[in-house]
């Protein structure tokens, strides 16, 4: 099915791209996505968050915790990476601005095997947000509120699209369920994210992620070595990851220690560590993938159906 979709809709030049753009599922999901974007934006602005410009090229970007191809351009004699996420930029900007968000285009050149996952695009948008001196628990509460507000808005605005897609949408009962990473793995095995998602009818938080499963920037519990004060949210019905986030390491010596544990170098993150050495305040945040949110709401087989010009791993297209 996916191969056929790719063949008939995307890979074969402009005519195929126009075919994708006239697929009624794509047209419906784009309308739904527009509502989701507007609702999330308004929910954040109403709570005092400032929207800032995206950064797309920088000497500093998210190292991620899984292998991707790593594109950069050379400009003015320096390497500038394409943004994988604005994690450091938001941690820096929030020091002055207090509460921020970005509709952030991210480039993550995932390996070709991700083609069939149904949920990877190598170019996507996340609403990436950060707030100063907030806890993970406050971020969890904020995420539940803004997700539910978006679901309520879609239900009110997009009834025609939902009817066509045969989807029912309503806010979920709060608080959402939560399970620790280690409990989830014990209960469902290594494939716990997928299993947990498949057997759930509401979103589920996975909290307290072990240090090796995350990037160096999420904060370790001061009194529980090896466990982080962070979280993922899993969409129900098998749609898997909705968002990632957590509290951040902010103490210089802790940051250096965490970088070393990943066998990364301070030099790689110099633009950030130099500021941390002078002192930064604690912050927390998360990033919600807009296309994955849309895919879940619309109940679509592949996230490519949520983007007019989808970039599927391993496939070059318009
Ligand atoms: N924006 C981060 C990411 O892309 C998520 C976070 O805020 O931790 O991984
Ligand atoms: Mg991350």
Decide if pLDDT at 7 tops 70.
no
Atom 8 (ligand 1): residue with closest C-alpha? 245
CATH fold for domain 2-306: BirA Bifunctional Protein; domain 2 (3.30.930)
Decide if pLDDT at 11 tops 60.
no
Query: pTM (2 decimals)?
Result: 0.95
Tokens matching residue 273 = 């560590």
If you average pLDDT over residues 18-37, what whole number do you get?
A: 96
Structure confidence at residue 15 as a pLDDT band (50, 70, 90): confident
CA of 123 to the centre of ligand 2 (A): 16
Residue 272 zone, left/alpha/beta (φ > 0; ψ -120 to 50; rest): alpha
Cα separation, 83 vs 99, in Å, equals 21
Task: Enumerate residues lining ligand 1, CB below 6 A.
Answer: 62, 85, 87, 126, 128, 244-246, 285-287
Decide if pLDDT at 5 tops 60.
no
Which residue did the predictor score with more confidence, 179 or 317?
179
Q: What ligand 1 atom has the least distance to the C-alpha of 245?
A: 8
How much of the chain, in percent, has pLDDT values that exceed 90? 93
3-state secondary structure the chain: CHHHHHHHHCCCCHHHHHHHHCCHHHHHHHHHHHHHHHHHHHHHHHCCCEECCCCCEECCCCCCCCCCECCEEEECCEEEEECCCCHHHHHHHHHHHCEEEEEEEEECECCHHHHHHCCCCCEEEEEEEEEECCCHHHHHHHHHHHHHHHHHHHHHHCHHHHHHHCCCCCCCCCCCEEEEHHHHHHHHCCCHHHHHHHCCCCCEEEECCEHHHCCCCECECCCCCCEECEEEEEECCCCEEEEEEEEECCCHHHHHHHHHHCCCCHHHHHHHHHHHHHCCCCEEEEEEEHHHHHHHHHCCCCHHHHCCCCCCCCCCCC
Decide if pLDDT at 39 tops 70.
yes
If you average pLDDT over residues 225-253, what whole number do you get?
A: 98
Q: What ligand 1 atom has the least distance to the C-alpha of 286?
A: 7
If you average pLDDT over residues 280-299, what whole number do you get?
A: 98
Mutation probe of ligand 1 site: the residue of 44, 61, 62, 139 with most atoms within 8 A of C-beta: 62
Decide if pLDDT at 9 tops 90.
no
**pLDDT attached to residue 250:** 98
**pLDDT attached to residue 12:** 61
**pLDDT attached to residue 16:** 77
Which residue did the predictor score with more confidence, 13 or 90?
90
Q: What ligand 1 atom has the least distance to the C-alpha of 285?
A: 7
CA of 3 to the centre of ligand 1 (A): 30
Domain range summary for the chain, segments of one domain joined by +: 2-306
**Average pLDDT for the chain:** 95
CA of 13 to the centre of ligand 2 (A): 33
Q: What ligand 1 atom has the least distance to the C-alpha of 218?
A: 8
How much of the chain, in percent, has pLDDT values that exceed 70? 96
**pLDDT attached to residue 6:** 59
Structure confidence by residue, pLDDT tens digits, 140-199: 999 999 999 999 999 999 999 999 999 999 999 999 999 999 999 999 999 999 999 999
Decide if pLDDT at 139 tops 60.
yes
């Amino acid at each position: 099915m996916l191969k056929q979709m790719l063949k008939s809709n995307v890979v074969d030049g402009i005519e195929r791209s126009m075919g994708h753009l006239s697929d009624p599922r794509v047209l419906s999901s784009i309308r739904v996505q527009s509502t989701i974007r507007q609702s999330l934006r308004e929910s954040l602005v109403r709570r005092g968050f400032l929207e800032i410009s995206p950064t797309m090229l920088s000497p500093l970007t998210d190292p991620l915790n899984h292998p991707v191809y790593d594109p950069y351009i050379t400009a003015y004699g320096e390497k500038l990476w394409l943004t994988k996420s604005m994690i450091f930029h938001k941690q820096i900007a929030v020091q002055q601005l207090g509460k921020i968000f970005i509709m952030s285009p991210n480039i993550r050149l995932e390996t070709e095997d991700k083609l069939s996952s149904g949920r990877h695009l190598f170019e996507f948008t996340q609403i990436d947000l950060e707030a100063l001196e907030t806890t993970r628990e406050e971020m969890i509460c904020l995420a539940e509120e803004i997700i539910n507000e978006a679901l309520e808005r879609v239900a009110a605005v997009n009834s025609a699209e939902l009817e066509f897609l045969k989807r029912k949408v309503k806010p979920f009962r709060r608080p959402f369920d939560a399970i620790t990473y280690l409990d989830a793995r014990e209960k469902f095995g290594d494939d716990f994210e997928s299993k947990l998602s498949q057997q759930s009818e509401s979103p589920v938080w996975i909290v307290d992620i072990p240090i090796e499963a995350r990037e160096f920037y999420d904060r370790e519990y001061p009194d529980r070595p090896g466990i982080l004060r962070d979280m993922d949210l899993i969409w129900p019905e098998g749609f898997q990851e909705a968002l990632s986030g957590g509290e951040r390491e902010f103490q210089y010596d802790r940051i250096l220690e965490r970088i070393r544990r990943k066998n990364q170098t301070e030099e790689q993150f110099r633009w950030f560590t130099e500021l941390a050495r002078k002192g930064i305040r604690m912050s927390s945040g998360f990033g919600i993938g807009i296309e994955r949110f849309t895919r879940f709401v619309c109940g679509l087989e592949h996230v490519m159906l949520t983007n007019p010009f989808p970039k599927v791993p391993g496939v070059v297209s318009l």
